[in-house]
Amino acid sequence: MRGPRWLLLLAIAAILGGIGLTYRAKKRSAAAHAPAMPVELPADLHSAAQLWHWVETDTKTGHIRADITAEDFREIKDSSRVDLKGMKLKLPGKKDQTYDLVDAASAQFFKSEHRLYSSGEVLITLNLPMSGSSQRAPVVVHSAAVTFNTETYRAETDSPSTFTFQNGSGRATGAYYDPSAHELRMKQDVEIHYQSQAPGAKPMTIQAGGLIFHEGTQLIELDPWGKLTREGTVVEGNTSQIQLLNHEIHTVHAAKARGTEDNDNRKIEYSADDLFMDCNDHGQVEHLAAVNNARMVSNAPTSQTTVTGDRVDLNFEVRDNRSILLRATASGHGVVVSKPLPVRGSEPADTHVLSAESVEMTMRRGGKEIDHIVTRGASTLEVAPNAVAAHHRVLSGKDFQIAYGAENRIDTFHATDVKTVTDPNAAERKRKVAQATTSSHEIKARFDPKTSHMAAMEQSGGFTYAAGERHARAAKATLDSDHNVMLLDGAARMSDATGATSADRIRLDQATGDFVAEGGVTSSRMPEQDAKKNSQMLSGDEPLQAQARRMVSTNKSRHMHYEGGVVMWQGANRITADTVDVDREKRSLVADRNVVTSLWEEPKDPEKKKTAVPALTVMRAPRLVYTDADRLAIYTGGVDMSRPGMHITCREMHAVLADADADSRLEKAVADGGVRIVATTVNGVRIATAEHSEYFTADQKVILTGGKPRLQDDTGHSTEGTKLTYFSNDDRLSIDGAPNRPVQTFITRHRK
């Protein structure tokens, strides 16, 4: 090791070298040519020299740990301080392949403290090759008031510093460098400008409260805060780490982070407790993960989409040196809110709130609009209307698949194990319209591309529906939202307080409650609570049952139309026809084509009922019109009536039904046109003909008038008169003749 004292001895030896054996012979010549005496050292210096060189080696390995040279050297007397000018400090790497270099115009070296200090400007160059030229531009730091420890080789300053490196430059206030750890610290007010070498890559700026650069691992730590900006991309957080790979940004981790992507009229904002960013080989963002309290907001010209969850992953496609959002995934309490922005001249679309444990959102090309969304597991979609007439809906189920059209408007929707809840709009609430719920194994929905309102919905697999007192079920149901019409298909059934209907298909108007049922229709209508309003045609105190191929119900089931093989009954009484219309408001019934009514009667008195034999009255006709106000049933088009002991045929018959308390269902039957009556008594068969007849069930009386009333027995004897009155219960006959016309009568009694 060579030091300042060695230089002093060298100077003394040079002086002594001027005195030799020739002293005596050349005394005068030597005196004339002797060198000048050295300048006397100042009183405060112990020694001084130029081109000073100081080396420190590892005693075990011989490795040079520090190498200092100076253009000027001055050692202060009675002190370990050495003042240096034009100093260079060389710090070789462990493998002696590279070294770090510190240049200072002036410096003070305190040997006992192993401290080197420069109050002026200092230039630090890192990782220079021992031989040849560097393949990359080295890191160069400019600063002042730098302290260097010759034992630990650490350099530190609190002064403003600037630095340059392969792809950029920066500045900070205060710096610290540890060559053994290859760690460079920028203490505060850090700003780095980074330019990737990728063609067309945009410059990046890193700002931080403080920075630590780990040269060996290429890791940059920003603390207590950091901010990264690249054109429209901004990421900032409390504590951040930037991992470099081949001197390009590879990953970024930021705590309590927030960021923005602002490109082409599309702005994305995101935040989380922890933010992780992955970049490609050129430092461009490919993936971003927001973890814990994650949130992303994407703003497009016509809509705003907000994604939240325990974790949100954003995948970007790098195109034209720009990171374009390709896909967003929210996991753990994931929520996606798609909110339309006001557009002049357009009806506001609905706001959609999607919730699930896992939500994956794929963007359309360009990253501005949603292409489709897929959820995993239990999910909920809330449709919140922004138009007064629209409905608030909540759909819950599993594995949602949502396809979007232009302007982030939902196009189609698919899910399984679904339940829907639809609230009435403001106008419907005033009408006391109930909330509607449905459930099914599968649901498919189609939305209006102009408004995002649901246009049609199909639910299949165990479909059920409920709205107040109205209930329905079917194998499949389709909702036409524009017309508020529901079509139930396959084993369809619906019911309300007025009754129930089953059919192959039922078309229900949800606003009015009107419906059309087709195929294997079975209907049951409950009697009115006010017994006086119930029809006496069949049996008003029991449910009205019906079967048909088709049924139409209107006016809250007050008007019912049945067609195709209609069978209608209450208790044992029934009507069959091709069509039947029931108006419960007017309390009337109209049956057409192949009409058959079957009315059973028995005493109301319980004691009489025990011994009485029920009597059946059967009426057949092409048409029946019944009005309950007068209990009148009008049969037309050729009538056939039969009851025990009595058979009547005619062109038209008016049947007056008894009131509900009477023993007989039929009080009176008035027949017109080609009347023919066949009465069977214990005395034989009686046949009566006339143009008009009246039959009274109470006393089994038949009055024949019009045309030529005639009564004939089974022996061929007959009676004619202007008016014949016959009592079939005791086989009596009363005859009225016309003026100037004698009565002709003959009736034979059977012998007992």
Q: Which residues are bridge partners to 228 per DSSP?
A: 206, 235
pLDDT at 662: 56
Phi/psi zone of residue 138: left (φ > 0), alpha (ψ -120 to 50 degrees), beta? beta
Count of all residues that appear for the chain in the document: 752
**Fold topology of 572-736:** lipopolysaccharide transport protein A fold (2.60.450)
Contact assessment for residue 138 and residue 153, using Cβ atoms and an 8 Å cutoff: no
Structure tokens at 362: 């794929």
Domain ranges of the chain: 4-33, 44-169, 195-294, 300-465, 572-736
Q: How many CB atoms lie within 10 A of CB 146?
A: 27
Tell me the helices (H) and strands (E) count for the chain, helix number first. 4, 44
pLDDT at res. 5 = 27
Reported in sequence order, the residue ranges of 77-217 that DSSP labels E, i.e. its strands, are 81-92, 98-110, 115-129, 139-149, 155-165, 168-178, 183-194, 204-208, 211-214
Overall fold of domain 195-294:
lipopolysaccharide transport protein A fold (2.60.450)
Q: What's the half-sphere exposure (Cβ side, CA atoms, 13 Å) at 143?
A: 30
Other Cβ atoms within 10 Å of 192 Cβ, number:
23
Task: Answer yes or no: are the C-beta atoms of 652 and 673 closer than 8 Å.
Answer: yes
Residues of the chain with pLDDT under 70: 1-49, 77-78, 198, 263-266, 321, 451-452, 528-541, 603-605, 608-610, 612, 660-664, 737-752
Q: What is the DSSP letter of 539?
A: -
Give the per-residue pLDDT at 614.
81
Q: Is there a common fold for 195-294 and 300-465?
A: yes
Beta bridge partners of residue 580, listed in sequence order: 562, 591
> Which tokens hold the place of 710?
């005639």
On the CB side of 686, CA atoms within 13 Å amount to 27
Q: Determine the Cα–Cα distance for residues 129 and 729; give it in Å rounded to an integer.
A: 137
Q: What is the residue whose two structure tokens read 């069978």?
A: 567
- Comparing CA positions, the residue from 589, 568, 423 lying closest to residue 499 is 568
Q: Measured between alpha carbons, how far apart are the two ends of the chain, in Å?
A: 165
Structure-block tokens of residue 660: 């509900």
CA distances from 542 to 140, 398, 498, 572 (A): 102, 45, 12, 10
CATH of 44-169, one of 2.60.40.10, 1.20.1070.10, 3.90.550.10, 2.60.450.10: 2.60.450.10
Residue partners of 527: CB distance under 8 A and separation at least 6: 534, 540, 541, 542, 543, 544
Rounded-to-integer distance, Cα 380 and Cα 353, Å: 8
- The domain made up of 300-465 has a fold known as lipopolysaccharide transport protein A fold (2.60.450)
Query: Which string of b and e fits 25-51 if b means at least 16 CB within 10 Å?
Result: eeeeeeeeeeeeeeeeeeeeebbbbee
Question: In what helix (H) or strand (E) does residue 311 lie, and over which residues does it extend?
Answer: strand 303-319
**Nearest CA-CA partner of 46 in 8, 1, 72:** 8
| DSSP result, 646-658 | EEEEEEEEEEEEP
User: 622, 690, 692, 701: which is closest to 668 by C-alpha?
Assistant: 701
